[in-house]
Structure 1
Amino acid sequence: MAKDEKKNVDIPKIEIEFTPRFGSNVDTSRPARKGPQEEEFVPPDGGWGWVVCITSLLTNGTAFSILNTFGIIYVYLIKEYAQGDPDISFKTSWVGSVCTGITFLICIFASISSDRIGIRPTAFFGAALGAVGLISSAFITKLELLYLTYGILLGIGGGFVYSPSLVILGHYFKRHMGIVNGIVAFGSSMYTIILSIVLPIILESLGIKYTFLILGGMYCMLLVCTLTWKPLFHRENNIPDLALSKESIVEHFDDCCSWTKKYLNVGLFKNRAYLFWFLGLSTSLFGYFVPFVHLVKHSQDVFPSSNAFILITCMQVTSGVGRLVFGKIADFQFVNRVYMQQCAFVVMGIVTACIPFSASFEGLIAICLILGICDGVFVCLLGPIAFDIVGPMEASQAIGFMLGGFSLPLTVGPPIAGLLYDKLHSYEVAFVAAGVPPILGAIVMCFIPRVKQSYPAVTETQTFASISMLDVHLASSSRSAQLNQLNQQNGINGHPGTTSELEVVRIVELLDPADQEDGKLLDSQNNDIKHRLRSASKSSNEDGQSEKDSDSLLDKENVS
């Protein structure tokens, strides 16, 4: 307390029981802090967690590398199923678009399933369904059936395996979450780069059938990866284990429905900033995926002697670099994250419209490098902006709604471009039209009011990981209950609800044994508590003594 006295700041103390980290050499004979909870969950931040990190990387890489390289498969699908069909580009575009759209749409429901049913069962089901979709696609002789196998089955499987791969990270990491986010994000991009190089070789030498079988084998490997995702805490309830009985199934179904209704908070759209951000991004994505699908075909038409497949590789290289670099830039306080994302969409729209006017293949490479950077900026800012706009209480729901909103524009955009190509036999109008939505989306985002930004930026991985903390919020809810009781005694408005799932990840930090003697707490936690008490005191028009009383009451409560 000597440091606190020097700063003339009264910092309330919260008594939190310490539980040693898994695998740590902590002397448990030392008296632990006494708190309202008998046991507190602490992620190990290492050990088996690094295996989970690697398998999460492989899962993300497999799921999204197949989505991002569909432009390569698209060319060979046209060759395989064309047969003089004048609308072949339009019909083939639907295969990849349906898969991408369903993957994003399923993400929110996969997160709910991970929490209510389990991470490993959800992910295993997704990996199995994706493998079935790809393997069955190898034996399809009619293009329209690929909508079912490659589009729907693979799309659902990808969504159900992707979300748990991020949710499980919340079980194993807390302090190292930033490092883990970088590994997963950049590693996934590297995975796509490798596949974009290898996939044309496989397609050229083995054909589309065996390519689908190989990709199906990659999804079968994910079955093993999902088995490594052992949850470190479990949701406690009175619902019996799922069994082949009517009562058990009905109870589980009712539980999922009630929790889903609570989780899908449509009240988010009453937030003006979130509403315009949602509309702006959804508008932008009508043209976002068009280059990923049609750029390779356009390059083969205009520059037939060039290696068009390298364009996908170029986009993924700069996308991975952009996620890391601009993710760090977003932490500078002078940077406005919404403006940064707007600039990325404006640049993306301009360069997409310039694609048909490139006079050389090198020009297309330069355009792809810029598109990759814009993609990296867009992706790395999803988590930070969601947290800034809606706060920690609803950030995971905001991301879920956003991903679901992406499904429609990502599904519709590429087929429209394919239809224009079928009718005009040129991608000139298609790419120019695809460049308009990102610019319009950036204009819509101008209506987002200025919001206070949080530092450091919250990543998308952290936001997904926070979903897994919904059932361990009791570890920190004692603090909220304690504050409510003190506020009521002090005659001020109570703290609404319990601590949110994302606050468990970002705000509530447990004490190490070395810190027990000093009684130190994380500054953000102390500031959060003091800010709530002071704000409530001012709103009730009480004098300055009220704030000091709140601090002293908090100290007395912890001593008792």
Structure 2
Amino acid sequence: MAHSQTSTLQEKYTATKVRSIQSDIAASGVQQEPATSRPVPLDGQATVNYLTLAGAWMVQFCTFGYVNAFGVYQDFYTRQFLSRSSPSEISWIGSLQLFLMYAPGLLVGHAFDSGYFHHLEICGAIIYVLCIFMLSLTHQDTYWQVFLAQAVGMGVGLGMTFLPSISVVSHHFKAHRALAIGIVATGASAGGIVFPIMLNHLFQNPRMGFTGGVRVSGAVVGVMLLCANALMRTNYPPHSSKPPLTWTIFRRIVWDGAYLWSILGAFLTNLGMFIPFFYYQLYAIDKGISQSLASDCLTIMNAGSIVGRLLPTALADKLGVYNIMIPSMLTSAAVLFGIFGVHNGAGAVVVAAFFGFSTGAYISLIPSLLAMMCKDMSELGVRMGMAFSLVAVANLVGNPIAGELLGKSHHDDSSLTWWKALVFAGVCLCCGVLCMSTSKLLFAGQKARRLQAPA
């Protein structure tokens, strides 16, 4: 009798374990199961969770969205405000911003896991807004002032606010987490639409100019971050008896082959992905496209990114994160090479829209991929932080390398050589696709071994 009861319990345990593993495999895109569950918050407090979603969206609007508008600064600095500096030197400003937004990821992620979410968000917002206003006080052709205010100061504030606003969403939503993160990520695209339009018009307005335009944008960012911090709430998983980060967890993360190959793929992709965001407006003007349409191209690129962050993330919950991410990366590489064919306004608009769509899908799915790889949600901040810290190096050097390759033409000192920079960016994206495909194969192997393991 006892033996019969033990066998029944063992069968129930085995069935539960198999169902859990099959669910993980379906999420990875290795094996698909129909997703019938609706997106529900982890603790059932729908109001709190969706207000947090709205607050995180605002943070993305003001942080990544503002960085997406750096193409306006790149163009304005190159042609007017910092005309004595080379495109490569100017791109270091935006690249260091991106680097500092990602680089503190490991420390910020550990602090997030330890319960310091609001401390990070509030301190980061104060530093970020203060440095935007400091940027408005800089003088023309004074590179070091702009570098300290925009690259260093704003970058530090970005690093403290960006990652926690993404991570907190994973604690509030379980089903359809990729879609929830994708909705938050659309904030960056929306900011990438609003801020380029705002900055382009204000910089060209004689009554506002650079100083007034930067201050207006700083006021918008300050008000929205204030509202965001009032809306967001934490929803940490129940505390366990172990500390958030142990050597065992750290070693398990470091030796996870699928995780490491995904980081390498993200590193190579980010090395080339932001080059069009930084240089596309300057490229369009250099090819004879009107100033007004060229400035709209960056806006169109970010508008396409909104659709890319929503539709593919919704499909990823059903078809698998890898199955959506890898084709989107491949599409980005193909469209980037298509920039060679841009010679008129219509071509510039089409390429901008498609590139924004494909890169938006990739950017919004990375957090979902890292969350999917977690063995326990208590390590989410560390996994995301470590990945973002390493990818930050690519964000730091990618655009300056492109700027150096851009250089000056031997035949005309006033023109720029674009083919080297575009080929560099395209090759980086193609290599990223290969690495992410390797990560998918390793992840599938891990799940298959877990499924075949004895109970």
**TM-score interval, smaller chain:** 0.7 to 0.9
Change (3 A) 1:78 1:174: same
- Decide which structure has the larger Cα Rg and report it: 1
What is the deviation of 1:66? 0.5
Within the candidate set 371, 382, 385, 2:355 is matched to 371
Q: Give the structure 1 partner of residue 316 of structure 2.
A: 330
What is the deviation of 1:261? 6.4
The alignment's TM-score, normalised by the length of structure 1, stands at 0.64
- Matched-pair contact (CA < 8 Å) for 1:319–1:375: yes
Asked if 1:427 corresponds to 2:411, the answer is no
Q: Give the structure 1 partner of residue 382 of structure 2.
A: 397
Q: Give the structure 2 partner of residue 344 of structure 1.
A: 328
Q: Give the structure 2 partner of residue 119 of structure 1.
A: 117
Cα distance in 2 for partners of 1:395, 1:231 equals 14
Note the alpha carbon deviations across 1:107-155, whole angstroms, 9 max, x for none. 3322322343622222110000001211111112211232221112111
Change (3 A) 1:453 1:317: farther
Change (3 A) 1:433 1:376: same
Q: Give the structure 2 partner of residue 451 of structure 1.
A: 443
User: Counterpart amino acid of 1:97?
Assistant: S
Cα distance in 2 for partners of 1:266, 1:144 equals 41
Change (3 A) 1:261 1:434: same
Cα distance in 1 for partners of 2:359, 2:169 equals 24
What is the deviation of 1:401? 1.8
User: Counterpart amino acid of 2:214?
Assistant: F
Change (3 A) 1:107 1:197: same
Note the alpha carbon deviations across 1:237-288, whole angstroms, 9 max, x for none. 9xxxxxxxxxxxxxxxxxxxx8666598254232222222221221222111
**Greater Cα offset, 389-398 or 428-437:** 389-398
Cα distance in 1 for partners of 2:209, 2:434 equals 44
Q: Give the structure 2 partner of residue 159 of structure 1.
A: 159
Within the candidate set 211, 214, 218, 2:213 is matched to 211
Change (3 A) 1:453 1:316: farther
What is the deviation of 1:322? 1.7
Name the Cα RMSD after superposition.
Answer: 3.5
Within the candidate set 323, 340, 346, 1:356 is matched to 340
Within the candidate set 85, 90, 94, 1:92 is matched to 90
For residue 140 of structure 1, give the secondary structure of its aligned residue in structure 2.
Answer: coil
Cα distance in 1 for partners of 2:333, 2:452 equals 44
**Greater Cα offset, 47-56 or 399-408:** 47-56
- Matched-pair contact (CA < 8 Å) for 1:76–1:208: no
1:11-410 aligned at under 5 Å gives the runs 43-83=43-83, 85=84, 87-116=85-114, 118-141=116-139, 142-169=142-169, 180-205=180-205, 206-221=208-223, 222-231=225-234, 265-305=250-290, 307-332=293-318, 335=319, 337-338=321-322, 340-389=324-373, 391-392=375-376, 394-410=379-395
Cα distance in 2 for partners of 1:391, 1:204 equals 52
What is the deviation of 1:453? 10
User: Counterpart amino acid of 1:451?
Assistant: F
Q: Point out the structure with the larger helix share.
A: 2
What is the deviation of 1:356? 3.3
What is the deviation of 1:317? 2.0
Cα distance in 2 for partners of 1:145, 1:266 equals 42
Cα distance in 2 for partners of 1:406, 1:188 equals 18
- Matched-pair contact (CA < 8 Å) for 1:71–1:295: yes
- Matched-pair contact (CA < 8 Å) for 1:44–1:173: no
The alignment's TM-score, normalised by the length of structure 2, stands at 0.78
- Matched-pair contact (CA < 8 Å) for 1:280–1:440: yes
Note the alpha carbon deviations across 1:171-214, whole angstroms, 9 max, x for none. 76567867744542334423332223322112211222222212
Cα distance in 2 for partners of 1:174, 1:446 equals 25
Unaligned runs of 5+ in 1: 1-7, 13-40, 238-257, 456-531, 540-560
Note the alpha carbon deviations across 1:366-419, whole angstroms, 9 max, x for none. 211221122122123323433454544655433222211211111111112222
Q: Percent identity?
A: 20
Note the alpha carbon deviations across 1:60-85, whole angstroms, 9 max, x for none. 111111110100121112234344x3
Change (3 A) 1:310 1:386: same
Cα distance in 2 for partners of 1:65, 1:90 equals 22
What is the deviation of 1:437? 0.6
User: Counterpart amino acid of 2:314?
Assistant: K
What is the deviation of 1:423? 3.1
Change (3 A) 1:267 1:181: closer
- Matched-pair contact (CA < 8 Å) for 2:110–2:381: no
Change (3 A) 1:236 1:366: closer
Cα distance in 2 for partners of 1:191, 1:56 equals 13
Note the alpha carbon deviations across 1:271-312, whole angstroms, 9 max, x for none. 222222221221222111100000100101112425112212
- Matched-pair contact (CA < 8 Å) for 1:98–1:152: yes
**Greater Cα offset, 226-235 or 319-328:** 226-235
Cα distance in 2 for partners of 1:183, 1:298 equals 30
What is the deviation of 1:167? 4.4
What is the deviation of 1:360? 1.9
User: Counterpart amino acid of 1:443?
Assistant: L
Change (3 A) 1:296 1:42: closer
- Matched-pair contact (CA < 8 Å) for 1:323–1:376: yes
Cα distance in 1 for partners of 2:219, 2:251 equals 39
